[in-house]
Structure 1
């Protein structure tokens, strides 16, 4: 499960009633370093030694000698040039909903749930993500310096991922008709490992582009839902989720009685059967218990 903290206000109740998440453009966030990264694009030249070697390594040529690069490197790199993602454009067409990895985070209850006067909703991660391939759910990476985001390395990794998936499919087809399964099983393992490594690199670049923050924010243990939009501008959007995505609702012990009454009525009407719990301060330590 993933957890979202809400302050005790009309908008929190309205969004819960309507079953929507408020997803914002990164410039609406209070951290001035949101999406603050060094963006690199274009085919690396032989003079860009580190970028060139990184691109070759992603292609499968590790420890390349810059004086003796792969014969067809220029042809291969040029074939991928136009497929590079434009991260700056993607930034403006992305909206974000923020979650936390834990329901008992002291600072989250303080900062985002108004000093335990608000509430926290536990969501089913898979139901929040849904089946739209353009949406993405990722942990935030906390760094000491702005990340480097290279769109060319990304597109090479993407190409290698697709290539090795295709190789896996072709090998499985050949295994049906030829009696050398022990040979092909080894190939399948190699292809799968290469595909997994390429996918991991793609996710790493994507995370550093869309979900990197200064290390000072690490206490949040943030998880982000990234929604791709086709609209221009920077207006927020409301993303609907199914009722069954809500698994439990946790009420802060300092919640106002009138607001608690509104919230519990909403839960009974809209989320019948969803467990309602309460978070309290521990008397003997700076900790919380949920009961």
Structure 2
């Protein structure tokens, strides 16, 4: 029979048979994989509401950074077949004029910057952003950059053509005067609208305009479907949104999670995570330490003379909060992935050496307090999911990758020992042959177990009496 006493101080991890016994052989290799956010089931996970509040210097540098990335993307496109889509995550947001591989490459990019910055469209957009004494949302910035993107792309193409890297565009004479007038009008009217309708009203207006822009993009793509190819689509229609998403890499390092649950009896989780009840649920013993609840795992912890070394670690096991509330974070004052000098030089100083007042947090006397707050804000969004998922009662271990220890599948694969694994629950539909395969692996693995508590096996079944899934203890085949 089921007894909650079997499951004190434990967490559960639902797994499919393919994960346990297939290519990755998680049960035999005793592995726990930390997944990147794009592999998680909720696209809202880890979402931060990023906004921009800059001055003329920081906005000038952001627009320059956009041109640098556009130049790199254009060059990447020259080396790509028309039938290939440019990978969304390869936009080089860590590139600056400081670190081009050759003087020729730097000269080409500088020429692209000069060509764009010489135009009235660049001046109009910079004036609009620099005069905005308010928060600029992700969607508004995306819309504004899309407004200028085609004209700037034409300017970059012209620079490449001047150097005989691409053929010149025939029969197209850009006339940005209409867009310049639009941006100048927005610079005048938005403050008046803000006074009349408040910031919330401006946000609603921006959302409406964003939806209209997305519809216009779809319409344009449809009308040009005959000449549109995956590469061109990447450069013309997708670059702006992909740039802004990649730009957020400059704020926080990559993160990965291993997911557990406080429940072993949820039918939806058995169906979704354990292959329609054909898989299993692993029972892990959690530990209470002075730092909170942890799970002992072995994984990458640093670099040594022979490369990456691994060690046992008591890793924080944190409960997920189920809320629709998002964390708000300002971009310019939270660039945390770059060394101090490049941050100052490429984001907070202009060509004349003037430093933006927004760089005060980088002063020596304020750096420690800023860094402390920066890391305090890192984890909470990663432990948040929408209320729709609260039935999971999820626990997570989150790792960040500021040192590059986890940028490979191996670097995100941790191991556990069988002193930490307390038992396994077979699913309602786990086949007899799969149970036998699991039992044979356990016969070898449990020989090294040193804890006195027996390793327990359970069979999940639906109880009509309780109306829920219960775990029946298989006491006749208990392992020690």
Structure 1 length as normaliser, TM-score?
A: 0.60
Alignment partners' CA distance in 1, 2:252 and 2:42? 15
Alignment of 1:1-291 (within 5 A): 1-9=10-18, 11-13=19-21, 14-39=25-50, 88=249, 92-125=253-286, 126-128=294-296, 136-149=316-329, 159=369, 205-229=377-401, 230-231=403-404, 235-236=408-409, 237-272=412-447, 273-291=454-472
Structure 1 residue 271: Cα displacement? 2.8
Indicate the SS of the match to 1:264.
helix
Change (3 A) 1:129 1:240: closer
| Superposed CA RMSD | 3.9
8 Å Cα contact 1:3/1:101 also seen in 2: yes
Deviation at residue 148 of structure 1 after TM alignment: 2.8
Change (3 A) 1:233 1:100: closer
Paired with 1:109 and 1:91, the residues of 2 have a C-alpha distance of: 33
* Partner deviation per Cα, 1:231-286 (whole Å, 9 max, x = no partner): 28964421122221101111113111111111111122213551111111002353
State the secondary structure of the residue aligned to 1:218.
helix
TM-score by length of 2: 0.38
Structure 2: unaligned runs, 5 residues or longer: 1-9, 55-132, 135-246, 287-293, 302-312, 335-360, 448-453, 473-480
**Are the counterparts in 1 of residues 34 and 257 from structure 2 also a CA contact under 8 Å?**
yes
- Contact 2:277/2:429 (<8 A) preserved: yes
Q: Which has the larger radius of gyration?
A: 2
Structure-1 separation of matches of 2:435 and 2:250: 42
Alignment size in residue pairs: 214
In structure 1, the gaps of 5 or more residues are 49-85, 163-197
Counterpart Cα distance in 2 of 1:41 and 1:274: 54
Does the aligned pair in 2 maintain the 1:22–1:238 contact within 8 Å? yes
